[in-house]
Structure 1
Protein backbone atom coordinates (compact mmCIF):
# COMPACT_ATOMS: atom_id res chain seq x y z
CA UNK A 1 0.00 0.00 0.00
CA UNK A 2 1.35 3.41 -0.94
CA UNK A 3 1.30 6.61 1.06
CA UNK A 4 1.98 10.24 0.21
CA UNK A 5 5.14 11.55 1.91
CA UNK A 6 6.41 15.14 1.81
CA UNK A 7 10.16 15.56 2.31
CA UNK A 8 11.55 19.09 2.26
CA UNK A 9 9.94 20.54 -0.90
CA UNK A 10 9.39 17.24 -2.72
CA UNK A 11 6.44 14.87 -2.48
CA UNK A 12 6.70 11.12 -3.01
CA UNK A 13 4.68 7.93 -3.17
CA UNK A 14 6.16 5.54 -0.60
CA UNK A 15 5.60 2.10 0.88
CA UNK A 16 6.18 1.05 4.48
CA UNK A 17 9.05 -1.40 4.91
CA UNK A 18 9.13 -1.75 8.71
CA UNK A 19 7.44 -0.28 11.77
CA UNK A 20 9.37 0.50 14.97
CA UNK A 21 7.17 1.88 17.77
CA UNK A 22 6.44 5.46 16.65
CA UNK A 23 8.74 5.37 13.60
CA UNK A 24 8.24 3.73 10.20
CA UNK A 25 10.86 2.88 7.62
CA UNK A 26 9.57 3.86 4.18
CA UNK A 27 10.93 3.37 0.67
CA UNK A 28 10.36 5.70 -2.27
CA UNK A 29 8.36 4.25 -5.15
CA UNK A 30 7.47 7.35 -7.19
CA UNK A 31 7.87 11.12 -7.38
CA UNK A 32 4.73 13.25 -7.14
CA UNK A 33 6.40 16.67 -6.92
CA UNK A 34 10.07 17.38 -7.67
CA UNK A 35 11.93 19.41 -5.02
CA UNK A 36 12.37 23.14 -5.62
CA UNK A 37 15.84 24.36 -6.44
CA UNK A 38 17.72 27.06 -4.54
CA UNK A 39 18.08 28.07 -0.92
CA UNK A 40 15.10 26.96 1.17
CA UNK A 41 15.79 29.69 3.76
CA UNK A 42 15.82 32.42 1.08
CA UNK A 43 13.19 31.31 -1.45
CA UNK A 44 13.22 32.91 -4.90
CA UNK A 45 16.59 34.59 -4.26
CA UNK A 46 19.72 34.15 -6.36
CA UNK A 47 22.02 36.95 -5.16
CA UNK A 48 24.07 36.42 -2.01
CA UNK A 49 22.80 32.91 -1.27
CA UNK A 50 24.11 29.42 -1.91
CA UNK A 51 21.85 28.14 -4.68
CA UNK A 52 21.31 24.44 -3.97
CA UNK A 53 20.76 21.83 -6.66
CA UNK A 54 18.15 19.53 -5.12
CA UNK A 55 17.68 15.99 -6.42
CA UNK A 56 14.54 13.97 -5.90
CA UNK A 57 14.81 11.06 -3.50
CA UNK A 58 15.93 7.98 -5.43
CA UNK A 59 13.93 4.89 -6.30
CA UNK A 60 13.84 2.55 -3.27
CA UNK A 61 15.63 5.14 -1.11
CA UNK A 62 14.70 4.50 2.52
CA UNK A 63 13.95 6.99 5.30
CA UNK A 64 12.63 6.83 8.82
CA UNK A 65 9.65 9.03 9.53
CA UNK A 66 6.69 9.22 11.88
CA UNK A 67 3.36 7.68 10.90
CA UNK A 68 1.76 11.13 11.17
CA UNK A 69 3.79 12.33 8.16
CA UNK A 70 2.20 9.72 5.88
CA UNK A 71 -0.94 10.85 4.07
CA UNK A 72 -3.42 8.97 1.87
CA UNK A 73 -2.06 8.19 -1.59
CA UNK A 74 -4.59 9.44 -4.13
CA UNK A 75 -2.46 9.45 -7.29
CA UNK A 76 -2.20 6.77 -9.93
CA UNK A 77 0.63 4.33 -9.25
CA UNK A 78 3.18 4.66 -12.04
CA UNK A 79 6.80 3.51 -12.40
CA UNK A 80 9.41 5.72 -10.75
CA UNK A 81 11.17 6.93 -13.95
CA UNK A 82 7.83 7.92 -15.50
CA UNK A 83 6.77 9.74 -12.33
CA UNK A 84 10.12 11.54 -12.21
CA UNK A 85 9.64 12.71 -15.81
CA UNK A 86 6.12 13.98 -14.99
CA UNK A 87 7.37 15.83 -11.90
CA UNK A 88 10.29 17.39 -13.82
CA UNK A 89 7.99 18.51 -16.65
CA UNK A 90 5.50 20.07 -14.20
CA UNK A 91 8.26 21.99 -12.40
CA UNK A 92 9.83 23.15 -15.67
CA UNK A 93 6.48 24.40 -16.99
CA UNK A 94 5.92 26.32 -13.77
CA UNK A 95 9.41 27.87 -13.96
CA UNK A 96 9.05 28.78 -17.65
CA UNK A 97 5.76 30.59 -17.01
CA UNK A 98 7.57 33.62 -15.58
CA UNK A 99 11.01 34.88 -16.57
CA UNK A 100 12.99 35.66 -13.43
CA UNK A 101 16.63 35.12 -12.48
CA UNK A 102 15.52 32.56 -9.88
CA UNK A 103 13.53 30.59 -12.46
CA UNK A 104 16.41 30.70 -14.96
CA UNK A 105 18.87 29.44 -12.34
CA UNK A 106 16.41 26.71 -11.32
CA UNK A 107 16.04 25.59 -14.94
CA UNK A 108 19.85 25.39 -15.23
CA UNK A 109 19.92 23.13 -12.16
CA UNK A 110 17.18 20.91 -13.58
CA UNK A 111 19.10 20.59 -16.85
CA UNK A 112 22.14 19.33 -14.92
CA UNK A 113 19.98 17.02 -12.79
CA UNK A 114 18.49 15.43 -15.91
CA UNK A 115 21.98 14.35 -16.95
CA UNK A 116 22.47 12.72 -13.52
CA UNK A 117 19.05 11.08 -13.70
CA UNK A 118 19.81 9.72 -17.20
CA UNK A 119 22.97 8.07 -15.88
CA UNK A 120 21.24 6.72 -12.81
CA UNK A 121 18.07 5.37 -14.47
CA UNK A 122 19.45 4.59 -17.94
CA UNK A 123 16.65 6.58 -19.55
CA UNK A 124 16.34 9.88 -21.41
CA UNK A 125 14.61 12.71 -19.52
CA UNK A 126 13.18 15.43 -21.76
Structure 2
Protein backbone atom coordinates (compact mmCIF):
# COMPACT_ATOMS: atom_id res chain seq x y z
CA UNK A 1 0.00 0.00 0.00
CA UNK A 2 1.32 3.44 -0.92
CA UNK A 3 1.14 6.66 1.10
CA UNK A 4 1.77 10.28 0.23
CA UNK A 5 4.84 11.66 2.04
CA UNK A 6 6.11 15.26 1.93
CA UNK A 7 9.82 15.69 2.60
CA UNK A 8 11.25 19.21 2.52
CA UNK A 9 9.77 20.64 -0.71
CA UNK A 10 9.27 17.32 -2.51
CA UNK A 11 6.32 14.93 -2.33
CA UNK A 12 6.66 11.18 -2.78
CA UNK A 13 4.72 7.95 -2.92
CA UNK A 14 6.11 5.63 -0.25
CA UNK A 15 5.56 2.17 1.16
CA UNK A 16 5.98 1.24 4.81
CA UNK A 17 8.99 -0.97 5.46
CA UNK A 18 8.91 -1.18 9.24
CA UNK A 19 7.11 0.28 12.26
CA UNK A 20 8.77 0.72 15.65
CA UNK A 21 6.99 2.60 18.42
CA UNK A 22 6.20 6.04 16.96
CA UNK A 23 8.73 5.74 14.13
CA UNK A 24 7.81 4.43 10.69
CA UNK A 25 10.46 3.53 8.14
CA UNK A 26 9.22 4.33 4.63
CA UNK A 27 10.72 3.55 1.23
CA UNK A 28 10.48 5.89 -1.77
CA UNK A 29 8.51 4.31 -4.61
CA UNK A 30 7.67 7.31 -6.80
CA UNK A 31 8.03 11.08 -7.10
CA UNK A 32 4.85 13.15 -7.04
CA UNK A 33 6.41 16.64 -6.82
CA UNK A 34 10.07 17.40 -7.50
CA UNK A 35 11.82 19.53 -4.84
CA UNK A 36 12.10 23.27 -5.49
CA UNK A 37 15.48 24.73 -6.34
CA UNK A 38 17.21 27.64 -4.62
CA UNK A 39 17.44 28.88 -1.06
CA UNK A 40 14.46 27.66 0.94
CA UNK A 41 14.98 30.32 3.62
CA UNK A 42 14.88 33.09 1.02
CA UNK A 43 12.37 31.94 -1.60
CA UNK A 44 12.77 33.61 -4.98
CA UNK A 45 16.08 35.21 -3.94
CA UNK A 46 18.99 34.74 -6.33
CA UNK A 47 21.56 37.25 -5.09
CA UNK A 48 23.64 36.93 -1.92
CA UNK A 49 22.24 33.45 -1.22
CA UNK A 50 23.47 29.94 -1.84
CA UNK A 51 21.24 28.73 -4.67
CA UNK A 52 20.81 25.05 -3.79
CA UNK A 53 20.49 22.25 -6.32
CA UNK A 54 17.96 19.86 -4.76
CA UNK A 55 17.67 16.27 -5.97
CA UNK A 56 14.57 14.16 -5.50
CA UNK A 57 14.91 11.33 -3.00
CA UNK A 58 16.20 8.23 -4.79
CA UNK A 59 14.25 5.13 -5.67
CA UNK A 60 14.15 2.77 -2.68
CA UNK A 61 15.71 5.41 -0.39
CA UNK A 62 14.43 5.09 3.15
CA UNK A 63 13.41 7.73 5.68
CA UNK A 64 12.00 7.61 9.19
CA UNK A 65 8.80 9.52 9.78
CA UNK A 66 5.71 9.54 11.99
CA UNK A 67 2.23 8.30 11.15
CA UNK A 68 0.95 11.90 11.06
CA UNK A 69 3.27 12.65 8.12
CA UNK A 70 1.70 9.95 5.92
CA UNK A 71 -1.35 10.97 3.90
CA UNK A 72 -3.74 9.16 1.59
CA UNK A 73 -2.16 8.26 -1.74
CA UNK A 74 -4.49 9.60 -4.43
CA UNK A 75 -2.21 9.37 -7.46
CA UNK A 76 -1.82 6.85 -10.24
CA UNK A 77 0.99 4.47 -9.26
CA UNK A 78 3.88 4.89 -11.69
CA UNK A 79 7.33 3.37 -12.00
CA UNK A 80 9.87 5.56 -10.20
CA UNK A 81 11.76 6.82 -13.27
CA UNK A 82 8.54 7.66 -15.12
CA UNK A 83 7.21 9.54 -12.09
CA UNK A 84 10.50 11.43 -11.72
CA UNK A 85 10.39 12.49 -15.38
CA UNK A 86 6.77 13.65 -14.99
CA UNK A 87 7.54 15.61 -11.81
CA UNK A 88 10.51 17.35 -13.46
CA UNK A 89 8.43 18.21 -16.53
CA UNK A 90 5.66 19.75 -14.39
CA UNK A 91 8.17 21.84 -12.44
CA UNK A 92 9.90 22.98 -15.63
CA UNK A 93 6.58 24.04 -17.16
CA UNK A 94 5.71 26.13 -14.09
CA UNK A 95 9.15 27.75 -14.11
CA UNK A 96 9.10 28.52 -17.84
CA UNK A 97 5.90 30.53 -17.36
CA UNK A 98 7.55 32.81 -14.79
CA UNK A 99 10.50 34.10 -16.81
CA UNK A 100 12.39 35.64 -13.87
CA UNK A 101 15.93 35.13 -12.54
CA UNK A 102 14.85 32.56 -9.95
CA UNK A 103 13.09 30.52 -12.64
CA UNK A 104 16.08 30.76 -14.97
CA UNK A 105 18.51 29.52 -12.29
CA UNK A 106 16.09 26.79 -11.22
CA UNK A 107 15.84 25.57 -14.82
CA UNK A 108 19.65 25.47 -15.02
CA UNK A 109 19.73 23.35 -11.86
CA UNK A 110 17.10 21.02 -13.26
CA UNK A 111 19.10 20.58 -16.46
CA UNK A 112 22.13 19.53 -14.40
CA UNK A 113 19.98 17.21 -12.30
CA UNK A 114 18.55 15.55 -15.42
CA UNK A 115 22.09 14.73 -16.50
CA UNK A 116 22.79 13.23 -13.07
CA UNK A 117 19.52 11.28 -13.11
CA UNK A 118 20.31 9.94 -16.60
CA UNK A 119 23.57 8.49 -15.27
CA UNK A 120 22.02 7.20 -12.04
CA UNK A 121 18.96 5.53 -13.61
CA UNK A 122 20.42 4.80 -17.06
CA UNK A 123 17.46 6.55 -18.71
CA UNK A 124 17.32 9.68 -20.84
CA UNK A 125 15.53 12.60 -19.18
CA UNK A 126 13.90 15.08 -21.58
Give the TM-score normalised by structure 1.
0.99
1:69 paired to 2:69: yes
The equivalent residue for 2:53 is 53
Q: How many residues align?
A: 126
Taking the aligned partners of 1:91 and 1:54, their CA distance within structure 2 comes to 13
Taking the aligned partners of 1:44 and 1:36, their CA distance within structure 2 comes to 10
Q: Which runs of 5+ in 2 are unaligned?
A: none
Give the deviation of 1:98 after TM superposition: 1.3
The equivalent residue for 1:82 is 82
Structure 2 SS opposite 1:31: strand
Taking the aligned partners of 1:21 and 1:76, their CA distance within structure 2 comes to 30
Taking the aligned partners of 2:99 and 2:114, their CA distance within structure 1 comes to 21
Q: Which runs of 5+ in 1 are unaligned?
A: none
Structure 2 SS opposite 1:3: strand
Q: How does 1:27-46 map to 2 (within 5 A)?
A: 27-46=27-46
Q: How does 1:7-18 map to 2 (within 5 A)?
A: 7-18=7-18
The equivalent residue for 2:93 is 93
Taking the aligned partners of 1:99 and 1:14, their CA distance within structure 2 comes to 33
Give the deviation of 1:92 after TM superposition: 0.1
Give the TM-score normalised by structure 2.
0.99
Q: Which aligned runs of 4 or more in structure 1 are off by greater than 2 angstroms?
A: none
Structure 2 SS opposite 1:30: strand
Give the deviation of 1:102 after TM superposition: 0.3
Tell me the C-alpha RMSD between the 2 structures: 0.3
Taking the aligned partners of 2:103 and 2:70, their CA distance within structure 1 comes to 30
Taking the aligned partners of 2:38 and 2:93, their CA distance within structure 1 comes to 17
